[in-house]
């Protein structure tokens, strides 16, 4: 499957008509980095970009919340991966009560309009994956970050505190799935990495095939 996906990515880049935005959301330790490594690392680096989203900088906070996102959306022929995304602006902000429900609903409306803009004006197809790890499995993986040397670099003491807010996160994720579903979410079981990778690769392959792409002929 990955060989076929890599061939289609090369065709996507050559044809230069479509673009693909892959959004990967999930709780801490759900395997977002692993998906990028296992599925996308063999692609032609000329045609793929990855952006991992952190807390906004002072400059980014001085603009609207989507300003920084728009700068990292794919041009035609490109695949852009977002490790976390603009959905954090209606997720962690609500969990920590940094914004109220009215603001969150206005932002989700803006997100729907933003995603429509990408699709309608740049032929950008949006794939949205939520990696659904169980709370017990998350706890085990967070503990591994304190015990296994090659995983210690990922350790963040704040992750365990955030894990305590699990039910609140789930509540607001449900809101996101219900309010921002014009481009549907793919809910991916993530306790088993091989199955998670298979489901995402399968959806990616089907999507790229649906573009019915052709290599351009000789340039005149």
- Per-residue pLDDT of the chain (220 residues), as tens digits, is 999 999 999 999 999 999 999 999 999 999 999 999 999 998 999 999 999 999 999 999 999 999 999 999 999 999 999 999 999 999 999 999 999 999 999 999 999 999 999 999 889 999 999 999 999 999 999 999 999 888 888 888 889 999 999 999 999 999 999 999 999 999 999 999 999 999 999 999 999 999 999 999 887 7
- pLDDT of amino acid 154: 87
DSSP lists the bridge partners of residue 122 as none
- pLDDT of amino acid 155: 87
CA distance 81 to 86: 12
- pLDDT of amino acid 218: 83
- Model confidence, pTM: 0.95
Map residue 120 onto helix, strand or coil. helix
Q: Which CATH class is domain 2-210?
A: alpha beta
- pLDDT of amino acid 217: 83
- pLDDT of amino acid 190: 98
Block residue for tokens 């920084």: 68
Long-range contact set of residues 90-95: C-beta below 8 Å, sequence gap at least 24:
90/172, 90/175, 90/176, 91/169, 91/172, 91/173, 91/176, 94/172, 94/175, 95/162, 95/165, 95/168, 95/169, 95/172
- pLDDT of amino acid 150: 86
Burial (CB count within 10 angstroms: exposed 0-12, middle 13-18, buried 19+), residue 78 = buried
Question: 28, 87 in Cβ contact below 8 A?
Answer: no
Question: 42, 2 in Cβ contact below 8 A?
Answer: yes
**Rounded to 5 degrees, what angle do the CA atoms 200, 205, 210 make?**
130
CA distance 96 to 88: 12
- pLDDT of amino acid 44: 93
């Amino acid at each position: 499957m990955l060989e076929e996906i890599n061939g289609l990515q090369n065709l996507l880049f050559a044809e230069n008509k479509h673009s693909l935005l892959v959004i990967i959301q999930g709780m801490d330790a759900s395997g977002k980095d692993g998906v990028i490594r296992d599925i996308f690392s063999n692609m032609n680096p000329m045609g793929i970009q990855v952006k991992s989203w952190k807390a906004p900088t002072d400059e980014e906070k001085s603009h609207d919340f989507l300003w920084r996102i728009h700068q990292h959306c794919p041009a035609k022929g490109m695949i852009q991966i977002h490790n976390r995304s603009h959905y954090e602006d209606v997720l962690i902000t609500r969990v920590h009560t940094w914004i109220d429900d009215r603001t969150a609903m206005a932002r989700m409306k803006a997100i729907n309009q933003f995603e429509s803009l990408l699709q309608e004006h740049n032929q950008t197809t949006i794939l949205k994956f939520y990696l659904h790890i169980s709370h017990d499995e998350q706890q085990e993986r967070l503990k591994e970050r304190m015990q296994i040397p090659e995983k210690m670099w990922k350790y963040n003491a704040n992750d365990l505190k955030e894990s305590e807010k699990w039910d609140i996160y789930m509540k607001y994720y449900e809101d996101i799935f219900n309010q921002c579903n014009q481009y549907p979410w793919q809910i991916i079981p993530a306790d088993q990495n091989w199955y998670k990778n298979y489901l995402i690769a399968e959806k990616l392959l089907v999507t790229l095939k649906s573009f019915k792409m052709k290599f351009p002929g000789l340039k005149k």
